[in-house]
Structure 1
Amino acid sequence: TSPEEMEHFLAILLFIGVFNFPSLEDYWHHESRFALIADIMPRRRFQLLRRYIHFNNNQQCSESRDRFYKIRPLFEMLRECLLIPSTHKHSVDEVMVAYNGTRTDNLRQYIANKPDKWGFKLFYQASSSGIILDLLLYQGASTFFNVALSKEEQALPLGAKVVTTLCKTIKEPQMSVVFCDNFFTKFNVVQYLHTALGVKCIGTVRPNHTGGAPLMTDKDLIKRGHGVCDFRAAEGVLAMKWFDNKCVNLLSYAGIMPFSTVKRWSKESCAKITVPCPSLISAYNEHMGGTDLSDMLQHLYKTPAKSRRWHFPLFGYILDLCIANSWLLYKRDSGLLNGKPMSLKRFRLVVAHSLNNSPPPEKTGYIPRPSRPKPQTDVRYDNVGHWPLHCEKRGRCNLCPKEVSRWKCEKCNVFLCLNANQESLKLYHLMH
């Protein structure tokens, strides 16, 4: 193959993510042929490239501790491209790459509250606008095999290790704030991020991980009504509990002031009432959803990657991630220039057309030519309305390999030369 042909291969994958057919063969089948894809490459050639595409040397797979060895070079290449200047608000969260196969032992994970419950688990560091800045593949005990961890970091639980590892790539830690949920947040984690890395952390926390802060119980807080909060500070870390529809616990290195207001439904008055809200809650709700936004954009136009090879869905996921990240960067720059950005679907099609506009590969010598549509079987054999029709343009005869004709069947839309035999039209339909 050649680099140009691989660009055509990627263009087809991007097109398929927008124009979704039931199966890959339908794009080339004469009954449902989609010229935008079928004219780029023959079906057999596309399936051959899809079958043999690899990202690492399988012969050295047994010598590596990395369980994602087959796809690791592609992820490392992606991480080098994620060095994007961003805002100083970051979020850390987990996502799932859908995979329902059973060829990965326990590498496939299950999370009940995710849209894709079965698949590969990834940890993201994202900006509040949804741009992914760093990622980490989860593979059990060997997740941090290529990460240098100190003795203090090795003693931390999984969520704390993930946060510290992803926060090390932040360029301006002293000016940055990281938001995370209760899977990652603990009292000693918030302390370590501030003292060792200089990063401030704001996150929801489970009641038993607040560092022993004597906060009010949930029952006492609920009795006081909506918007009531209680807080304690120890060793520079603030623990806060706020009653919304239920009690929310947070840990932070920032204060709770100033208070804002939010609208909440009240059962007693049967109307929405104004409730005081600490600044930590407003900041958390505003900047925590970056990972979910990126995951939503990737699922809008998803590259179909169903395969017996477990690493192929990860390859399709990387394509979608690159498109979503690029579109968010383009949208941000368009806003700075006061321009109107194109939609994500249009952006993906523009990228695919750019890959397809490269010169055709010299190795295969293939020149795309659309095939003639064939009529249905019951139409071809009904013996009704198969009359010769004179056309302005000539076409190659379907019976004679070297003859051309201006006559074609009005119903079947195939050219037939009538010079040699006046019965060739009838003979064609009897034979075919």
Structure 2
Amino acid sequence: MSTMRHYWSQNPLFKNSLISDTMPRTRFELLLKMWHFSNNETCPEGDRIYKVEPLIKIFVNKCQEVYVPGEIVCIDETLIPFRGRLLIKQYIPNKTHKGFTWNMKLYAGKERDPNISVPTKTVMFLAEKLLNAGRTIITDNYYTSLELANQLLNQKTHLLGTLRSNRRGNPKEVVNKKIKSWRNYCERKWSRYLHWEVAGQA
């Protein structure tokens, strides 16, 4: 409903006895105000998702109980509409929420790891329970790298994705290779088709 209080409204348009008969609105609002998932006193310094991490684990476990991914799995960012104030909030206008969420890693700000790139670390974390089963992981150009491909191959998993030419670790043969643009290819084919159509009509 448009507002939380509508769930306790006596208006026939909004009336929902299932909720209003279970708990008074004031009681619910009080519980919501005091709602915590972890102890603030044990929160590690700098851990921005510590308070909601137990809830995230419960959610992910439930998702994995009801669905087993097939041979092809996509790993990508997804957005949740939010207009409030939040330090770790991001704005990516072209991203949409699609598909079934099987695993997730909440963005909590920039990460650094001297041993492995963050994109590779993220994919390996999300795909941990899906490895060594002959699956194919699909990623976009932020995640795709030779480093990730080798790590997945070592665990009997393939990688499919667009590779940035300036990605660290790319072989020189790949960087220097002149690849024909798919768009230019389609435009040439379409131009020939139109020429053939005009010639045929003449």
What is the number of equivalent residue pairs in this alignment?
187
Q: Distance in 1 between matches of 2:192 and 2:145?
A: 36
1:48 counterpart (30, 34, 37): 30
CA contact (8 A) 1:65 1:142 kept: no
Structure 1 or 2: larger strand share? 1
Query: Deviations for 1:294-326, whole angstroms, at most 9, x for unmatched residues?
Result: xxxxxxxxxxxxxxxxxxxxxxxxxxxxxxxxx
Report the equivalent of 1:57.
39
Paired AA for residue 121 in structure 2: K
**Closer/same/farther in 2, CA of residues 25 and 78 from structure 1, 3 Å limit:** closer
Paired AA for residue 132 in structure 2: P
What pairs with 1:202-241 in structure 2 (closer than 5 Å)?
A: 202-209=160-167, 211-212=171-172, 213=174, 214-218=176-180, 222=184, 225-226=185-186
CA contact (8 A) 2:37 2:51 kept: yes
Paired AA for residue 208 in structure 1: N
Report the equivalent of 1:201.
159
Q: Is 1:175 matched with 2:134?
A: yes
Q: Is 1:85 matched with 2:68?
A: yes
Report the equivalent of 1:66.
47
**Closer/same/farther in 2, CA of residues 221 and 38 from structure 1, 3 Å limit:** closer
Question: Which has more radius of gyration?
Answer: 1
Q: Distance in 2 between matches of 1:96 and 1:85?
A: 22
**Closer/same/farther in 2, CA of residues 48 and 66 from structure 1, 3 Å limit:** same
TM, length-normalised to structure 1 = 0.37
TM, length-normalised to structure 2 = 0.73
Query: Deviations for 1:108-135, whole angstroms, at most 9, x for unmatched residues?
Result: 222232359xxxxxxxxx9xxx443321
Runs of 5+ unmatched residues, structure 1: 1-19, 117-125, 144-152, 227-244, 247-263, 271-432
Secondary structure, aligned partner of 2:75: strand
Query: Deviations for 1:337-361, whole angstroms, at most 9, x for unmatched residues?
Result: xxxxxxxxxxxxxxxxxxxxxxxxx
Q: Distance in 1 between matches of 2:183 and 2:177?
A: 10
| Percentage of matched positions with identical amino acids | 24
Paired AA for residue 38 in structure 2: N
1:184 counterpart (143, 160, 177): 143
1:165 counterpart (120, 125, 129): 125
Q: Distance in 1 between matches of 2:50 and 2:177?
A: 47
Q: Distance in 1 between matches of 2:114 and 2:73?
A: 23
Q: Distance in 1 between matches of 2:162 and 2:136?
A: 14
Report the equivalent of 1:132.
101
How far the C-alpha of 1:203 sits from its partner, in A, is 0.8
Q: Distance in 1 between matches of 2:25 and 2:14?
A: 11
> Which one has more relative contact order, counting CA pairs under 8 Å at least 6 apart?
1
How far the C-alpha of 1:43 sits from its partner, in A, is 2.0
CA contact (8 A) 2:78 2:96 kept: no
Across the aligned residues of Structure 1 and Structure 2, the Cα RMSD in angstroms comes to: 3.4
Q: Distance in 1 between matches of 2:79 and 2:89?
A: 10
**Closer/same/farther in 2, CA of residues 168 and 24 from structure 1, 3 Å limit:** closer
Runs of 5+ unmatched residues, structure 2: 195-202
How far the C-alpha of 1:26 sits from its partner, in A, is 2.9
Paired AA for residue 31 in structure 2: L
Paired AA for residue 49 in structure 1: L
**Closer/same/farther in 2, CA of residues 45 and 142 from structure 1, 3 Å limit:** same
Secondary structure, aligned partner of 1:69: coil
Report the equivalent of 1:381.
none
Report the equivalent of 1:23.
3
Secondary structure, aligned partner of 1:169: helix
**Closer/same/farther in 2, CA of residues 208 and 33 from structure 1, 3 Å limit:** closer
Q: Distance in 2 between matches of 1:159 and 1:169?
A: 17
Q: Distance in 2 between matches of 1:198 and 1:220?
A: 30
Secondary structure, aligned partner of 1:188: helix
How far the C-alpha of 1:163 sits from its partner, in A, is 1.3
Report the equivalent of 2:200.
none
Paired AA for residue 128 in structure 2: K
